[in-house]
């Protein structure tokens, strides 16, 4: 079978025909409304930071908060997935990321929280602002925060094509005092290779490998292996998506450093400094009996 490559005129005519077709018009209108809403949000800076706590098993206290973003409550782009997907389609991802970072830092400083701030940043944003590290650092200090209080959490949505260039750009931030976290190990670009190359301070484990670990031997052994690697390279693990007490106990007994999820606390505009009573009780409990019941193998 052979395929004919259309000439530019043919392609243009086809595109015009497609755009004018009845099926294409609703899609075009939807995309136009989406773009209008996205630009309105960016121009009016109408994004709302919320913060989710990260618990340190070692101390039983909150180690950090992850800064997350929501669109306006009445907007079709309220959820972060819809908001950032729309920005990616419109070529406005860098602008949106920078706006969100500024809003997160300002709000975190206003709240007066002293714990670490995990701030989501795409790899492309790191590359695009690498010459602005000093200006970014001054902004954070002017907000009343220490640079060492900010952890750049590299989101998994973009593939890193040239790792050496990206590593050099990230090193500029590290030299300025920022810490680094890899998000969602097991998804996207966050591979074991990148872990070894970047040597991040924190590695966040994708919730797929966390949820249900109390009854899944494969997930248990996977997390046990990651914990062994983390101990060898000096990274601190954060288990994402912790929602049940059973999974919490397994993570605690495995020696995973930190936990994040609805069991610890939901994202909030004004997050609590306290962990829930049920979590406090689990911190003081002994090893989980679930090991004997559902995971009959040596610890």
Averaged confidence pLDDT in the chain: 86
When pLDDT is averaged across residues 225-251 and rounded to a whole number, the result is 95
- pLDDT for residue 86: 94
Instruction: List Cβ neighbours of 222 (8 Å cut-off, separation of 6 or more).
Output: 209
For domain 47-294, the CATH class is alpha beta
24 band by pLDDT with thresholds 50, 70 and 90: low
Tens of pLDDT along 94-121?
A: 889 889 999 999 999 999 999 999 999 9
Name the band, by pLDDT with cuts 50, 70 and 90, for residue 7.
very low
Confidence of residue 200 (pLDDT cuts 50, 70, 90): very high
Q: What is the mean pLDDT of residues 205-219?
A: 95
CB atoms under 10 Å from CB of 214, counted, come to 21
Q: State the angle between helix axes of 245-254 and 217-233 in degrees (0 to 180), rounded to the nearest 10.
A: 40
Separation of alpha carbons 210 and 244, rounded Å: 10
Q: How far apart are CA 121 and CA 100, in angstroms?
A: 9
Assess contact for 264 and 243: CB atoms under 8 A. no
**Which residues, at least 6 apart from 191, have a Cβ–Cβ distance to it below 8 Å?**
none
Give residue 87's pLDDT. 92
Residue 76 reports pLDDT greater than 60: yes
The pLDDT, as a whole number, for residue 292 is: 42
Torsion of CA 33, 38, 40, 41, to 10 degrees: 140
- What residue spans define the domains of the chain? 47-294
What pLDDT is stored for residue 113 in this prediction? 94
The region of weakest confidence among 12-26, 40-54, 56-70, 191-205 is 12-26
Contact 201, 179 (CB under 8 A): yes
pLDDT at site 78: 94
Does the pLDDT at position 149 exceed 80?
yes
Burial class (CB in 10 A: 0-12, 13-18, 19+), 202: buried
pLDDT at 1 exceeding the cut of 80:
no
Smallest CA-to-CA distance from 243 within 264, 224, 223 is with 264
| pLDDT confidence of residue 293 | 47
Overall average pLDDT of the 155-173 stretch: 83
DSSP 65-127: EEEEEE--TTSTT-SHHHHHHHHHHHT-HHHHHHHHHHHHHHHHHHHT--SEEEEEE-HHHHH
d(Cα 219, Cα 241) in Å, to the nearest integer?
Answer: 14
* 215: DSSP letter: G
pLDDT tens digits, one per residue of 114-130: 999 999 998 888 999 99
Residue 116's pLDDT is 97
Secondary structure (3-state) at 38: helix
- CA–CA dist 29, 25 (Å, integer): 6
CB 223 within 8 A of CB 209: yes
Handedness of CA 64, 69, 74, 77 (dihedral sign): negative
pLDDT band at 50 (very low <50, low <70, confident <90, very high): very high
């Amino acid at each position: 079978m052979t395929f004919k490559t259309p000439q530019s005129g043919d392609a243009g005519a086809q595109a015009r025909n497609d755009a004018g077709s009845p099926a294409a018009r609703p899609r075009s209108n939807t995309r136009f409304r989406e773009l209008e809403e996205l630009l309105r949000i960016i121009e009016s800076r109408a994004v709302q930071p919320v913060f989710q706590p990260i618990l340190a098993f070692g101390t039983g206290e909150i180690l950090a908060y992850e800064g997350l973003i929501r669109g306006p409550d009445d907007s079709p782009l309220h959820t972060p997935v819809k908001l950032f997907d729309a920005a990616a389609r419109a070529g406005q991802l860098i602008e949106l990321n920078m706006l969100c970072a500024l809003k997160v830092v300002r709000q975190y400083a206003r709240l007066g929280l002293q714990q670490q701030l995990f701030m989501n940043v795409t790899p492309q944003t790191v590359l695009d602002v690498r010459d602005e590290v000093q200006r970014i650092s001054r902004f954070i200090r002017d907000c009343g925060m220490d640079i060492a209080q900010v952890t750049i959490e590299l989101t998994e949505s973009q593939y890193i094509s040239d790792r050496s260039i990206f590593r050099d750009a990230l090193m500029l931030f590290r030299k300025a005092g920022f810490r680094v976290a890899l998000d969602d190990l097991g998804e996207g670009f966050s591979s074991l290779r990148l872990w070894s190359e970047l040597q991040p301070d924190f590695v966040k484990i994708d919730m797929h490998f966390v949820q249900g670990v109390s009854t899944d031997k494969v997930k248990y052994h996977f997390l046990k292996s990651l914990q062994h690697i983390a101990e060898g390279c000096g990274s601190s693990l954060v288990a994402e998506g912790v929602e049940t007490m059973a999974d919490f106990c397994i993570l605690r007994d495995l020696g995973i450093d930190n936990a994040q999820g609805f069991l610890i606390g939901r994202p909030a505009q004004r997050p609590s400094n306290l962990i829930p009573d049920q979590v406090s009780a689990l911190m003081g409990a002994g090893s989980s009996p679930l090991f004997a019941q559902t995971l009959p193998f040596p610890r």
